[in-house]
């Protein structure tokens, strides 16, 4: 790779509520390009990636946010941190380098409207799974007790 070119992992987030995302690794990313140019590149590249399921290829991504930078601490959020938007959301007019992107940075690519809705009500559909499991187990026990 030439100087100024790095490896970046882009996490395509399809659904915040369902924690549905896929990472895609990009090698040789030029840090001197603007965030807007990189978004245009991603919007052209993602639909062509046959390794991704169609729901990921045909989604309306429009926003980038830094998830993690190499040798720095990670968030406990499973999909994306809801904090520090002023610092971590990438502004379209800045270059990737000026936005804080470096080698081995992981960034999220998602729909801003979905993010705002999730941020207003951050409930994951997975938080209901233990309750549902418990309910189904109780129903099964009651069913067996009635039929014995």
**Euclidean distance between CA atoms 31 and 3, whole angstroms:** 9
Residues 6+ apart with CB under 8 A from 103: 6, 7, 70
In the 8-state DSSP scheme, what is residue 95? B
pLDDT in tens, 14-53: 998 888 999 999 999 999 999 999 999 999 999 999 999 9
What are 39-92's pLDDT values in tens digits?
A: 999 999 999 999 999 999 999 999 999 998 876 666 656 677 788 888 999 999
pLDDT at residue number 75: 64
d(CA 122, CA 17): 8
Tokens 């233990």 belong to 130
**What are the residue ranges of helices labelled H in the chain?**
35-45, 54-57, 85-88, 112-120, 129-146
Number of structural domains the chain divides into: 1
Q: Cβ–Cβ contacts within 10 Å for residue 37, how many?
A: 14
What is the residue range of 132's domain?
Answer: 5-146
**Residue 132 confidence (pLDDT) above 60:** no
Contacts of 84 (CB under 8 A, 6+ apart): none
Report the CATH number that the domain containing residue 40 is assigned in CATH: 3.10.20.90
125 φ/ψ sector (left φ>0, alpha ψ -120 to 50, else beta):
alpha
pLDDT at 119: 87
Higher pLDDT, 115 or 25: 25
């Amino acid at each position: 790779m030439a100087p100024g070119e790095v490896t970046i992992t882009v996490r395509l987030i399809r659904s915040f509520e369902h924690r549905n995302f896929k990472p895609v690794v990009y090698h040789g990313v030029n840090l001197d390009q603007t965030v807007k140019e990189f978004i245009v590149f991603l919007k052209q590249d993602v639909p062509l990636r046959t390794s991704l399921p169609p729901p990921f290829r045909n989604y309306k991504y429009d926003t980038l946010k830094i998830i993690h930078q190499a040798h720095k601490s990670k968030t406990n959020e499973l999909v994306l941190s809801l904090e520090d938007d002023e610092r971590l959301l990438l502004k379209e007019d800045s270059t990737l380098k000026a936005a804080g992107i470096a080698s081995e940075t992981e960034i999220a690519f998602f729909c801003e409207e979905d993010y705002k809705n999730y941020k207003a009500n951050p409930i994951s559909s997975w938080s209901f799974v233990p309750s549902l499991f418990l309910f189904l187990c109780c129903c099964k026990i009651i069913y067996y007790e009635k039929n014995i």
